[in-house]
Amino acid sequence: MALTGLQIYKLLPRTNCGDCNFPTCMAFAMQVAAKKVSLDRCPHLSEEARAQLAEASAPPMKLVCIGNDENRLEIGQETVLFRHKEKFYRPTGVAILIEDNLTDEELDKEVSSINQLKFTRVGEEIGVNLVALKHKSLGAEEYAKLAGRITENITLPLILISYDPSVTEHALKVIGNKRPLIYSANRENFEKMASLARQYSCPLVVYGENLEELADLTQKIKKMGVDDLVLDPGVRQTKSALEYLTKLRRLAVEKIFRPLGYPTIMFTSEDDPFQEIAQASTYVCKYANIVVIEAKDTWQLLPLLTVRQNIYTDPQVPNAIESKLYEIGSVIPSSPVIVTTNFSLTYFTVESEVENSKVPTYISVVETEGMGVLNAYAGDKWSAEKIAKTLDQQKVREKVDHNTIIIPGLVAVFRAELIDEFGWNVLVGPEEAARIPSFLKNEWGQMVKNEKK
């Protein structure tokens, strides 16, 4: 358990020297216990005391790194149960499960499919993070060769799934330098698995039938010199898993119970492809740090990755883009000018539809503190005057040979003021972004034809 302020105070020099910038050692001890300052602030702490106090200043959940290159995955070190209190820091790793009984042709197809599971949403690239190779039928040497072949063709880190230490050892001889995640240590094999994890400096999954068993195993394994651990609470049904994951997170971040202060891994168990993604999404929200799934199709992965992206945004910081004039396509002086807000989802939705239209277009983004069209209007974050000032700052009139702008249909109320007060010719665009392509081809195209006449 974490040390109290009084326990920490007893291990300090107790000289009240003030070198830590606190008036007394007791004041410093209370701040360390609250995890608001580091032990390093005390220059007179003995090495023996520092070792005893290290636990008090450590994060409530261990940070674990899987892989060792640019695609490595860091999980854990979360500090809250609910993201509105602060935020969740490290997005859940999504792992695609592959069994070792595939033919060479099937494996090549799987590898090709996994390499393509990357998407761009609201300006951010999202995708899967891990490949989980399950030992099912191959011998130890064949399994090791398969692991090596996968790492040669996929840059993602691996999870080696086998309960047989000899199989795991053969695989680690081939890819141990890639720092895969070893799955898993249980009450029967934990000594051998922990020895392998220590030898190859790899993180290790600890499997337990209940929380008491998990806590007992983590302490035994930690004494063996292995502390990069991931917990599998051993349940596969959604309701029970959610209960266990919540207990684990609460014990880690609220009770500061060190034996369970590690990230978690969960496996989906639903056969129906729709239910599997629903189950995985539940685990992403609460509170799995890795989710292993069998789903591999784009239509399944994109919704799951979208849920993860939304959950791991900072709820206290607006999801905004820079307010400036964007050029979509090879714009020319006669290109249309669309006005919108700097809410990321709004902008990237508009951008996508403009690209679909194949009409080179300027998009003038107005600073609205990251709010969408209606929210910004209701919150008085944009107005006809603000749009006009933004257009002037972006020197739109210097870039186009016309005087027309397109505003969202939801704020058609701005039209009259933009015309009368600021001299713009205003077209009221569609209320839904999906209608932008037809609008640019028809309404805008017709206006251009009329002007030429």
Reported as a single tens digit per residue, the pLDDT across 333-344 is 999 999 999 999
DSSP letter assigned to residue 211: H
Average pLDDT in the 239-258 region?
94
Nearest residue to 167 via CA among 189, 151, 149: 189
Classify burial at 146, counting beta carbons within 10 Å of its beta carbon; exposed 0-12, middle 13-18, buried 19 or more.
buried
Q: How far is CA 45 from CA 25, 32, 59, 80, 396, in A?
A: 11, 13, 20, 30, 63
| 74 pLDDT above the threshold of 60 | yes
**Chain-wide mean pLDDT for the chain?**
92
pLDDT at 342: 94
| 66 pLDDT above the threshold of 80 | yes
In angstroms, the CA 351 to CA 343 distance is 12
Which secondary structure element, helix H or strand E, spans residue 378, and what is its range? helix 373-378
pLDDT at 29: 87
| 103 pLDDT above the threshold of 70 | yes
pLDDT at 51: 75
Q: Under 8 Å CB-to-CB from 107, ≥6 apart: which residues?
A: 98, 146, 149, 150
Reported as a single tens digit per residue, the pLDDT across 378-400 is 999 999 999 999 999 999 999 99
pLDDT > 90: what percent of the chain?
77
| 1 pLDDT above the threshold of 60 | no
DSSP letter assigned to residue 3: P
Per the model's pLDDT, the better-predicted residue between 47 and 354 turns out to be 354
pTM of the entire predicted model: 0.80
In angstroms, the CA 132 to CA 7 distance is 43
| 439 pLDDT above the threshold of 90 | yes
Sheet holding 204-207, edge to edge: 229-232, 204-207, 181-185, 158-161, 130-134, 93-99, 290-293, 265-267
pLDDT at 285: 95
pLDDT at 452: 56
pLDDT at 406: 96
pLDDT-derived band of residue 4, with 50, 70 and 90 as boundaries?
A: confident
CB 347 within 8 A of CB 319: no
Reported as a single tens digit per residue, the pLDDT across 111-140 is 999 999 999 888 889 999 999 999 998 999
pLDDT at 94: 98
Reported as a single tens digit per residue, the pLDDT across 414-431 is 999 999 999 999 999 999
Average pLDDT in the 155-175 region?
97
| 37 pLDDT above the threshold of 80 | no
| 171 pLDDT above the threshold of 70 | yes
pLDDT at 57: 64
Reported as a single tens digit per residue, the pLDDT across 291-349 is 999 999 999 999 999 999 999 988 877 788 999 999 999 999 999 999 999 999 899 99
Average pLDDT in the 256-277 region?
95
290-293 and 265-267: which strand pairing? Answer: parallel
In angstroms, the CA 98 to CA 161 distance is 10
Element counts in the chain: helices (H) and strands (E): 18, 17
Average pLDDT in the 178-191 region?
97
pLDDT at 97: 97
| 357 pLDDT above the threshold of 80 | yes
Q: How many residues in the chain?
A: 453
pLDDT at 343: 93
Q: How far is CA 153 from CA 112, 157, 180, 364, in A?
A: 9, 11, 15, 42
Average pLDDT in the 91-120 region?
92
pLDDT at 450: 67
Per the model's pLDDT, the better-predicted residue between 434 and 123 turns out to be 434
In angstroms, the CA 260 to CA 249 distance is 9
Average pLDDT in the 345-356 region?
94
The encoded tokens of residue 67 equal 């892989």
Average pLDDT in the 77-106 region?
91
